[in-house]
């Protein structure tokens, strides 16, 4: 049995703003019968962009119904610009948490809200082509764009988590490798960003050494030809000493220096032993 | 609030007479049945008596009964034994609607290089016997097909299927976990070589199972060690549970007629009542060949977990084949194999009765369930 929070129980058993809204001027729909959950969100938005009323119809489990209900509570009184900033995490927080496997219910709420506001603005129901992205999960119709957004907003680290949050990969499982690739790219970006963010302020000698070693392993070594090698000998302040095996030793040295200066720290000097 | 327990295919209440019979073996009668002194021998006699009681349930011989820890162990053992005693044969036949204790084990052997045929079912969940006949080959080591399906209650024609395998010299195992104790299983007329039973489905506690191994079938133990169970399953006997299972088997035999008549009538009344009062509902399974206690009903355009949690508020325990209850994101493999449409598959509810189910409980469900479906449908965006 799922361990639902009291808020999920309350919203499920006594949903707020349930049912269609007669004077709605914005409707957003996500999900499908095949998926096992679907949400139709109704909004009444004033000319000034304030969400005055909200209603919903949901087909799905307790957490889908509770996510819809709490979402309507959250958006009433909000300006659409602020509403668009809401993420699924905000929904989860208001519900006092959701079981990991049910996170996709909160994502559905966020997507319906976005769809409804697009509808009110007279925009097509889904963003234009590049934003829709490539279809990754055929079973549940999830694109790479949705997966990437969910990874970033929820700081996801494993394929399993991606499935919990988006459902992608939860059917036949054929796309699990693709999800792993997307995740690897996202996580790679993140570690690079982290590296750069750290590199800006002055580094300690140990940090600098770690950054150099990581860069050599990830970026330098894979690009070397047969017979070439680059190894770290020592780091002393901004002086980085390397052991380099290459026919074009000087060219390699200067390109490494440029790379280290760009990604780790300005002022690094590379010496070859 | 009263609890109306209609999930007996998941597990069942421990019968009071079972509990009573077990208690001394948790206190003063703690001897080891293998010991030489009479304090242990007394316990050994009780285990022998339980073996006779279980054998009687199947019209089998006590020596054909191997006590295990659960149905899954029995299933694992049956497959292991059949394959390792015939290493030259590399083919297994099963069905696509088995319990995971069979499906996942078959999957394991497929990874070991075995060819696995998973027989398909039609929309009522029935097997195609022609496809089965043509799947039986000289390379087939084992057929393992369940006696009754846990989700729909469907009964498979095991007698005929075992006959067909026997004619070709192929071993036949049946997972009878759902059938044992609910319907008559006469092994003098049912030519299966091995059969699995799980105690907690027939009012014994969880943690005890049986593998029936027909006399003459070459057997290789899965759990090795001591000489217990005539060398077929090592490990000191779980005496209290074995004693409990013996009593449970005896009670099941005594209540078999009631299961066929009173329980079946309650189930039919429940099912008819729900179908009549809830529009767009349907029964999943084969109404002609079903366990007497099981009803699998789908309600269009509502989701199973939501139904179950609303029922839980009313004290009614049931289960569902919906995706959301399993965490697997897809509806049950059984309903999918039967091609139940999505708008029905997600809204499936399994109600499974027992000899403890009362008329009043059925009345209560007939009164409370229809408004739950109506209110969830009101909330659903799908209406047709």
Query: Could you give the domains of chain B?
Result: 4-11+256-379 (3.90.1150.10), 16-251 (3.40.640.10)
CA distance B29 to B14: 21
pLDDT at A91 over 70: yes
Q: Can you give the pLDDT at residue A1?
A: 72
Cα torsion A22, A24, A25, A26: sign: negative
* A62-75 helix and B304-313 helix, angle to the nearest 10 degrees: 90
Q: Span B186-194, mean pLDDT?
A: 97
Supply the ipTM of this predicted assembly: 0.85
Contact B303 A140 (CB under 8 A): no
Identify whether residues A187 and A248 lie together within a single domain: no
pLDDT for position B325: 62
Structurally, how many domains does chain A consist of?
Answer: 3
Give the pLDDT score at B57: 97
Query: Is A12 in the B-facing interface, judged by CB distances under 8 Å?
Result: yes
Check if A35 is active-site. yes
- Catalytic residue ranges of B: 324
**C-alpha torsion B268→B269→B272→B273, nearest 10:** -150
| Same domain as A121, residue A12 | yes
Any idea which of A204-213, A260-269, B158-167, B182-191 has the lowest mean pLDDT? A204-213
Which has the minimum average pLDDT: A112-121, A246-255, B19-28?
Answer: A246-255
Catalytic hit among A61, A105, A139, A172: A105
- Rounded distance between C-alpha atoms, residue B362 and residue B4, angstroms: 9
Q: pLDDT tens digits for B297-355?
A: 999 999 999 999 999 999 999 999 876 665 566 788 999 899 998 889 889 999 999 99
Instruction: Collect all residues from B whose CB is shorter than 8 A from any CB in A.
Output: 301-306, 309-310, 313, 322-325, 327-331, 342-343, 346, 378-382
The last residue of a domain, from among A94, A125, A156: A125
Give the per-residue pLDDT at B258: 92
A166 and A53 assigned to the same domain: no
Would an 8 Å CB–CB cutoff place A141 in contact with chain B? no
Given a cut of 60, is residue A229 above it in pLDDT?
yes
Same domain, residue pair A31 and A87: yes
Phi and psi at A114, nearest 5°, equal -60, -45
**Domain edge (last residue) among A162, A197, A232:** A197
A60 and chain B in contact, CB less than 8 A: yes
Q: Which residues, other chains included, contact B247 with Cβ-Cβ below 8 Å and sequence gap of 6+?
A: B15, B17, B18, B21, B22, B50, B53, B204
Task: Write the secondary structure of chain B as one string of H (helix), E (strand) and C (coil).
Answer: CCCEECECCCCCCCCHHHHHHHHHHHCCCCCCCCCCCHHHHHHHHHHHHHHHHHHHHHCCCHHHEEEECCHHHHHHHHHHHHHHCCCCCCEEEEECCCCHHHHHHHHHHHHCCCEEEEECECCCCCECHHHHHHHCCCCEEEEECCCECCCCCEECCHHHHHHHHHHCCCEEEEECCCCECCECCCCCCCCCCEEEEEHHHCCCCCCCEEEEECCCCCCCCCCCCCCHHHHCCCCCCCHHHHHHHHHHHHHHHHHHHHHHHHHHHHHHHHHHHHHHHCCCEEECCCCCCECCCEEEEEECCCCHHHHHHHHHHCCEECECCCHHHHCCCCCCHHHHHCCCCHHHHCCEEEEECCCCCCHHHHHHHHHHHHHHHHHHHHHCCCCC
Whole-number Å distance between alpha carbons of B304 and B322: 5
Cα A106 to Cα A96: distance, rounded to the nearest angstrom:
12
Average pLDDT rounded to a whole number, residues B59-64: 97
Q: How far is Cα A270 from Cα A250, in angstroms, rounded to an integer?
A: 10
Q: Kindly indicate the confidence band of residue A130, based on its pLDDT and cuts at 50, 70 and 90.
A: very low
B-chain residues near A33 (CB < 8 A): 301, 342-343, 346, 382
CA distance B200 to chain A (A): 19
Residues of A in contact with B328 (CB under 8 A): 170
Q: Report which of residues B331 and B60 the model is more confident about.
A: B60
The domain that holds A165 is classified in CATH as 1.10.10.1100
Which residues of chain A from 196 to 235 reach within 8 Å of chain B, CB to CB?
Answer: none
A132 in the same domain as A116: no
Are residues A221 and A192 both part of a single domain? no
Residues of B in contact with A38 (CB under 8 A): 381-382
Neighbours of B374 (CB within 10 A): 14
Phi first, then psi: give them for residue B303, nearest 5 degrees. Answer: -110, 140
Pick the range with the lowest mean pLDDT from A241-250, B208-217, B305-314.
A241-250
Identify whether residues A103 and A145 lie together within a single domain: no
Q: Nearest CA of chain B to the CA of A40: how many Å?
A: 6
**Which of A125, A154, A182 lies at the terminal end of a domain, its last residue?**
A125
Residues A250, A224 share a domain:
yes
pTM of the model: 0.80
Residue with tokens 């009323």: A53
Domain that residue A248 falls in: 205-272
Nearest Cα to Cα of residue B304 among A62, A249, A95, A50:
A62
Q: Confirm if B162 and B191 have CB atoms less than 8 A apart.
A: yes
Asked whether residue A58 falls in the same domain as residue A162, the answer is: no
Q: Which residue in B has a C-alpha nearest to residue A140's C-alpha? A: B329
Output the average pLDDT for chain A. Answer: 86
Residues in a beta bridge with B94 = B118
Which pLDDT does position B87 carry in this prediction?
96
A251-267 per-residue burial string, b: 16 or more CB within 10 A, e: under 16: ebbeebbebbeebbbee
Report pLDDT digits (tens) over B252-276: 999 999 989 999 999 999 999 999 9
pLDDT digits (tens, 9 = 90+) for A181-211: 999 988 887 777 666 655 455 677 777 888 8
| A175 and A98 assigned to the same domain | no
Beta carbons of A25 and A95 less than 8 angstroms apart:
no
Name the residue with higher pLDDT: B47 or A140.
Answer: B47
CATH (domain of A263): 3.30.300.130
CB contact under 8 A, A57 and B310: no
Q: Is some CB atom of chain B closer than 8 A to the CB atom of A21?
A: no
Q: What is the mean pLDDT of chain B?
A: 95
Residues A250-259, mean pLDDT to the nearest whole number: 88
């Amino acid at each position: 049995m799922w361990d639902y929070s009291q808020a999920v129980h309350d919203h499920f058993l006594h949903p707020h703003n349930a049912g269609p809204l007669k004077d709605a001027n914005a409707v957003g729909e996500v999900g499908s019968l095949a998926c096992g959950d679907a949400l139709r969100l109704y909004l009444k938005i004033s000319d000034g962009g304030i969400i005055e009323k909200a209603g919903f119809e949901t087909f799905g489990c307790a957490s889908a119904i509770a996510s819809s209900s709490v979402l309507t509570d959250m958006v009433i009184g909000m300006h659409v610009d602020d509403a668009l900033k809401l993420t699924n995490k905000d929904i989860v927080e208001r519900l006092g948490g959701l079981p990991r496997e049910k996170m996709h219910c909160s994502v559905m709420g966020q997507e319906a809200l976005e769809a409804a506001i697009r509808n009110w603005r007279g925009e097509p129901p889904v963003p234009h082509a590049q934003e829709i992205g490539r279809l990754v999960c055929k079973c549940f119709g999830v694109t790479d764009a949705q997966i990437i957004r969910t990874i970033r907003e929820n700081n996801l680290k494993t394929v399993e988590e991606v499935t919990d949050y988006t459902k992608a990969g939860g059917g036949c499982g054929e796309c699990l490798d693709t999800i792993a690739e997307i995740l690897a790219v996202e996580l790679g970006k993140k570690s690079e960003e982290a590296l750069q963010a750290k590199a800006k302020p002055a580094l300690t000698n140990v940090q600098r050494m770690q950054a150099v070693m990581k860069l050599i392993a990830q970026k330098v070594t894979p690009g070397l030809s047969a017979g070439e090698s680059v190894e770290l000998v020592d780091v002393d302040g901004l002086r980085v000493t390397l052991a380099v095996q290459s026919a074009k030793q000087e060219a390699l040295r200067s390109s490494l220096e440029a790379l280290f200066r760009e990604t780790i720290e300005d002022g690094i000097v590379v010496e070859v032993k | 609030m009263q609890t109306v327990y209609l999930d007996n295919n998941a597990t069942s209440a421990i019968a009071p007479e079972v509990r009573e019979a077990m208690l001394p073996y948790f206190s003063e009668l703690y001897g080891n049945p293998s010991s030489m002194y009479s304090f242990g021998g007394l316990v050994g006699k009780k285990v022998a008596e339980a073996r006779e009681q279980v054998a009687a349930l199947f019209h089998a011989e006590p020596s054909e009964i191997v006590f295990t820890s659960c149905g899954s162990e029995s299933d694992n053992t049956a497959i292991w034994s059949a394959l390792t005693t015939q290493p030259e044969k590399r083919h297994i036949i099963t069905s696509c609607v088995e319990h995971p204790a069979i499906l996942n084990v078959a999957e394991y052997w497929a990874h070991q290089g075995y060819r696995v045929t998973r027989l398909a079912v039609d929309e009522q969940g029935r097997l195609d016997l022609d496809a089965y006949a043509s799947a039986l080959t000289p390379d087939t080591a084992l057929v393992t097909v369940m006696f009754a399906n846990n989700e729909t209650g469907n009964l498979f024609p095991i007698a005929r299927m075992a006959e067909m395998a026997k004619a070709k010299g192929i071993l036949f195992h049946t997972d009878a976990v759902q059938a044992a104790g609910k319907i008559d299983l006469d092994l003098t007329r049912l030519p299966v070589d091995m059969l699995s039973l799980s105690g907690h489905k027939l009012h014994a506690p969880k943690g005890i199972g049986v593998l029936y191994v027909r006399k003459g079938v070459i057997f290789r133990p899965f759990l090795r060690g001591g000489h217990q169970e005539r060398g077929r399953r090592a490990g000191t006997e779980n005496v209290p549970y074995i004693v409990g299972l013996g009593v449970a088997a005896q009670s099941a035999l005594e209540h078999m007629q009631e299961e066929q008549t009173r329980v079946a009538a309650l189930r039919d009344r429940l099912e008819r009542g729900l179908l009549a009062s809830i529009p767009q509902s349907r029964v999943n399974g084969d109404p002609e060949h079903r366990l007497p206690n099981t009803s699998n009903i789908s309600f269009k355009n509502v989701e199973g977990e939501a139904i179950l949690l609303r029922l839980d508020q009313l004290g009614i325990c049931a289960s569902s084949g919906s995706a959301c209850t399993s965490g697997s994101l897809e509806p049950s493999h059984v309903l999918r194999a039967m091609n139940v449409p999505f708008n029905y598959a997600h809204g499936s509810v399994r109600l499974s009765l027992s000899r403890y189910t009362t008329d009043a409980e059925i009345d209560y469900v007939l009164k409370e369930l229809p408004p739950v479906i109506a209110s969830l449908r009101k909330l659903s965006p799908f209406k047709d």
